[in-house]
Structure 1
Amino acid sequence: MPKKFGKVFTLWIALWITPVVSVPAQDIQLEKYFGSVERKEGEAYIGRFELSGSDIRKVVEAYRITYTSRDAGFQKPLTLAYLRLGNLSDDANPLGAAQIEFIYDASGRRTEKILRDKSGAVRSIVAYKYSGRFLAEELTLDAKRKLQFSIAYKSDAAGNVLEQVFKDAAGKVKSGPFGVAKRRMKYDAKGRITEQQAFDAMGKLVAATRTIYNVAGLIFEEQEFDAQNKLTEKVFYKYDAAGHRTLEQRYNAIDTLQEFTAFKYDARGNLLEESRYDGKGFLKGDMFGVAITRKKYDDANRLAEQSRTSKTNVLLSLEKYDGFGRAVETVNYNNEGVLILLQRRKFDVLGNPVEESDFILDAGAKLPRLKEQRLYAAGKVSERNAYHQSGYRTLQVKYDGNGKVIKQFFFDENGKIFRERS
């Protein structure tokens, strides 16, 4: 099955593989704050960079997870909220809402996921219905609980999802992502997916994938088929002794190697290098021209640096990170390796942005120069300074908390203001 179908399928299935644990009513409700959150399988979340509750109103962007005292792993969160300076915010964020509320039944199964805005008003609802122990239907509702669309599930006795069907508000089968209305899956005796088929609303095959595993239980081969059920591609995988994928080879239907990707790791299992090649073994760029991605880590096993180079080994970009995963320096180059933009960022002790500076390389110059500097207050630009090629400041712009220009100052080469504008 083409990559786009496989990725979507994997996400949907993962939502229901995580076992459900009941939440005793007598548990104490707790809350924690984090600089960021990562979603695991199901509705479990990992909080990263824990913050003190006493500092939360000083932090520009943070997340709050409420949970019970028995749910230290956040497997069954009660609410997940996006905060700016300690308050619920409707600003764009990975959650898609200011707050997500999770409702569970007496058995601990999730029955509803409610998305709310910062005022608490409902934006949308996802409701879950079960048949026996397993999910039978997932319904997406609007704020007034009017059905928008649904997904019906059929499972075997082991809980493996055998079929997914997309339906519109009227209950008719409809095409979902990538024109797929129905998916069917087959499994081996160990519960591993061996075949996936995607169909359109008329019941016609869209694509299919067959998966073969090695003796270690890792995917050895994937065979992809088109709408006529004809083999279009075969992908083979190789691994090291620790189970890390080291090679991914793509062949066409007549067993001609089309491209392959090689992976290298350090002793701790961190990915160090990912390189792409064509069928003849020459480096091959992706849609952005990147052929090799390299990574470096600090002594605490945190990503410290990431670089990308072209098929001719020209450096295209370089990013450096602090211990909290924030990019403190980004450098972009053109296809000839000439610097386009160097950007440096500074943060305060709570992780709030303080300063951002852009440097460029003028034609004929050997070193980059400062082009623009932005200062931040409460997470928003409060001041912007522009600089001349010779190094002196030419413009200073002051902003209010809503991003509106308050004042502009224009400078001459001697640093004197020759014009003001409100």
Structure 2
Amino acid sequence: MKKFTILILTAAALSLSAPGFAVVPDAYDDLYQILMKRYAGTIKQWSDGDPASSFSTVYKFDLHGWISEIKDPTGSFTVTYDVNRTMITVEGKFYDQSHYLCRFTLNTNREFQSVTIDNGASKTKTSLLFTYGANGKLTEKKVVLTKDGKDKTLNLKYLYNGNGLLTEENTYENGDVLTYKQEYVCDASGCVLEKTSFYKSQFDNKPKLTEKNVYTYDSANNVTSVKVYDYNGTLKDSMNFAYNSQKNIVEKSHILAGGKVDYATMYHYSGDEQKVLHSYTYKGGVYSTVHKFLYDANGNLIQKYRFTPEGKLDGFTKYILDQKNKITDEVYYNEKTQIDYTLKYTYDAKGNLTEQYEVYPDNSKGYRYVYTYDAKGLLSLETDYDPDGKLDSTYKYVSNPAGKVQELTCNGADGKMQYRIEYLYTPEGKLAKEKKYNQDNMLEYTYQYIFNHQGQVMEERKITPAGDIEYGYLLWYNNKGRLITKKEYSPGCQLEGHDIYTYDAKGNLIQIETTDANGSPVKKQGYQIVYWE
């Protein structure tokens, strides 16, 4: 089954915690995500305040953009790596001079094999071992906590449905005593709609709700927001995502509970909104990460560079093209110019993509996708195989006489339908409606798009099977065709509020102002842009 990835992002561009809280955590996965953020040499040092302040978090980076030192309100730590970065060590002292040591060991697929943590401050030791199933999915994680010479063992078990989608994550203590539980609700396409967390104490008869994450998507299964609620249903924070008319992401931002923008990443495209020319990440209005993209004379992307703010080149991705300007190899290099992995593509005589697969330095392969076309050269079938070569899912396409897809049907490995989507178009060929049906062929929802006389979307609606508008957006553009106002309305067509967009002379977004239903300002976020020219 295709993986529609949820974009779970950190609470800040560099830090997973707010000022005043520890960055080096016992939560090994949070620490690992910090360490694996490659900033490609963009900065030498970053802090969320005065570096000399005991309340500030400070990161230092090596010349390759990897974190080499961390100072946070709890202590100072150094980070070392082996040549292949399959063993990573974080070691240092807390301010009470107690010792801290964390070591990650990864397998050839760069999945956790084991993790050990020795935390002198809490006088605890933790070891973790990971078990994977034949399909490569994590099935069990064993955690041993040692304190005062006594061990406590936790067993985390993961359950999946027939489509291979995670449905439950259960934590057991003392063998078979369930204490933690996470439940996942997915749609037929595999998109996680809700993740609900529960905890059961010794005084509870059953696990109680502690937190809930809610995800929303656009009609292309792109995540548009992730909202986190506490056990009372109070919003804690959220992530927002925006896309251009070509469904390419143009902005992602982290919003704190009070509505303040914590950080944002902006993407600047070419005039056709297809080619990314630069990307910028901002925190507090100052950019910290820059990427630049190189195209050949035919408009083909051939290199993607990572630069420091001073313009120094670090790592890169290389694209190899055939004589017909088709990408045959997409090679990813690390900071030592060693290959991390390669995506390979093959085509038929007509130039249609027929196969795509992943190859790693040890010659192991990942997922493989095979494409079949009809006599007109239109995609009619996609067949997906897992890394073991077993059938994963199929996608059947039916196109109208104009060559546009009018129906998509997804079937699982067992041949049973998982979902179906119908596409309806205007006489001009613009997408007017998308109707999604579940595995029982029952209508789930309809997306409707209404256009102005210039062919721009002026209204978007999500409609329930009963025909009611669940929510909608009204959009206005300036004389250059750029979005300037977007208003959201709720059931009953009641206006909820709107966003106003301001651009500079080069067409880059420099401000978003959000107002409530009465027109009163709610928040304003400005962006500073530095150009290479």
Q: TM-score, normalised to structure 2's length?
A: 0.43
Residue 91 in 1 paired to residue 91 in 2?
no
Q: Deviations over 1:197-229 (max 9, x none)?
A: 222211223332211111222221111122323
Cα distance in 1 for residues equivalent to 2:447 and 2:266:
37
Distance change >3 Å, CA 142–CA 122, structure 1 → 2 = farther
Cα distance in 2 for residues equivalent to 1:262 and 1:40:
17
**1:54 paired residue number:** none
Which of 491, 509, 514 is equivalent to 1:330?
514
Structure of higher CA gyration radius: 1
**1:126 paired residue number:** 317
**1:212 paired residue number:** 398
Cα distance in 2 for residues equivalent to 1:63 and 1:235:
30
Counterpart code for 1:153: Y
Preserved contact between residue 510 and residue 528 of structure 2 (Cα < 8 Å): no
Name the structure where strand makes up a greater proportion of residues: 2
Cα distance in 1 for residues equivalent to 2:336 and 2:373:
39
Distance change >3 Å, CA 146–CA 299, structure 1 → 2 = closer
Cα distance in 2 for residues equivalent to 1:103 and 1:318:
37
Post-superposition offset of 1:266 = 1.1
Post-superposition offset of 1:190 = 3.4
Preserved contact between residue 503 and residue 511 of structure 2 (Cα < 8 Å): no
SS of the equivalent of 1:91 reads: strand
Preserved contact between residue 209 and residue 223 of structure 1 (Cα < 8 Å): yes
**2:382 paired residue number:** 196
Unaligned stretches of 5+ residues in structure 2? 6-188, 191-219, 221-243, 251-264
**2:113 paired residue number:** none
List aligned pairs for 1:135-146, cutoff 5 A.
135-146=327-338
List aligned pairs for 1:228-307, cutoff 5 A.
228-284=414-470, 291-299=471-479, 301-307=481-487
Post-superposition offset of 1:140 = 0.5
Cα distance in 1 for residues equivalent to 2:479 and 2:322:
50
Q: CA RMSD in A?
A: 4.6
SS of the equivalent of 2:287 reads: coil
Cα distance in 1 for residues equivalent to 2:491 and 2:331:
47
Cα distance in 2 for residues equivalent to 1:171 and 1:183:
18
**2:205 paired residue number:** none
**1:29 paired residue number:** none
Distance change >3 Å, CA 104–CA 173, structure 1 → 2 = same
Counterpart code for 2:515: V
Residue 316 in 1 paired to residue 489 in 2?
no
Post-superposition offset of 1:264 = 1.0
Distance change >3 Å, CA 294–CA 327, structure 1 → 2 = farther
Counterpart code for 1:91: Y
List aligned pairs for 1:12-411, cutoff 5 A.
91-92=287-288, 98-100=290-292, 102=294, 112-130=303-321, 133=324, 134-174=326-366, 181-284=367-470, 291-299=471-479, 301-322=481-502, 327=511, 329-332=513-516, 342-344=522-524
Post-superposition offset of 1:297 = 3.0
SS of the equivalent of 2:376 reads: coil
Distance change >3 Å, CA 225–CA 341, structure 1 → 2 = farther
> Identity of counterpart residues, as a percentage?
19
Post-superposition offset of 1:130 = 4.7
Cα distance in 2 for residues equivalent to 1:281 and 1:76:
38
- How many residue pairs were aligned? 274
Post-superposition offset of 1:159 = 1.9
Cα distance in 1 for residues equivalent to 2:400 and 2:503:
38
Q: Deviations over 1:39-92 (max 9, x none)?
A: 9899xxx9xxxxxxxxxxxxxx99999xxxxx9999999x868699xxxx9934
Counterpart code for 2:377: G
Counterpart code for 2:484: A
Distance change >3 Å, CA 128–CA 62, structure 1 → 2 = closer
Unaligned stretches of 5+ residues in structure 1? 12-37, 47-60, 66-70, 175-180, 285-290, 354-377, 379-422
Distance change >3 Å, CA 64–CA 226, structure 1 → 2 = closer
Counterpart code for 1:151: L
Preserved contact between residue 124 and residue 141 of structure 1 (Cα < 8 Å): yes
Post-superposition offset of 1:98 = 3.0
Q: Deviations over 1:117-160 (max 9, x none)?
A: 23454432222345554432221011221111111111111222
Preserved contact between residue 90 and residue 118 of structure 1 (Cα < 8 Å): no
SS of the equivalent of 2:4 reads: helix
Counterpart code for 1:248: E
Cα distance in 2 for residues equivalent to 1:185 and 1:232:
19
Distance change >3 Å, CA 82–CA 272, structure 1 → 2 = closer
Counterpart code for 1:115: R
Cα distance in 2 for residues equivalent to 1:302 and 1:103:
25
Distance change >3 Å, CA 111–CA 295, structure 1 → 2 = closer
Preserved contact between residue 436 and residue 446 of structure 2 (Cα < 8 Å): yes
Cα distance in 1 for residues equivalent to 2:268 and 2:440:
53
Cα distance in 1 for residues equivalent to 2:387 and 2:452:
47
Distance change >3 Å, CA 170–CA 226, structure 1 → 2 = same
Preserved contact between residue 116 and residue 123 of structure 1 (Cα < 8 Å): yes
